Amino acid sequence: MNETIEHYVERAAGLGIDPTVARKEAQSLQALLGAPAARRPSLKLPRHVTDVLIPKRKGTTP
């Protein structure tokens, strides 16, 4: 899972997001997503996080 965090940090750095902030967010997400579904809070992510985690497809309409 550390590879995923590092990949996220690299992509976030490419968008100008501070690597320390990106690493903390990735670790928080990892902890949330690893929690049992009953204890997992609803996940509402900031826009800059979703832009990195869910890349936009080129050539598609919204």
| Residue 10 located in a structural domain | yes
| Residue 27 located in a structural domain | yes
If pLDDT is split at 50, 70 and 90, which confidence band does 61 have? low
pTM > 0.85: no
| Residue 18 located in a structural domain | yes
Give 6-56 pLDDT, tens digit per residue.
888 888 888 888 989 888 888 888 777 775 655 555 666 677 776 766 666
| Residue 58 located in a structural domain | no
The total domain count for the chain is 1
If pLDDT is split at 50, 70 and 90, which confidence band does 2 have? low
Range of the structural domain that residue 25 is part of: 2-33+40-53
| Residue 59 located in a structural domain | no
Check residue 36 and give its pLDDT.
62
| Residue 62 located in a structural domain | no
| Residue 61 located in a structural domain | no
CA-CA distance, 35 to 28, in Å (whole number)? 11
CA-CA distance, 36 to 40, in Å (whole number)? 6
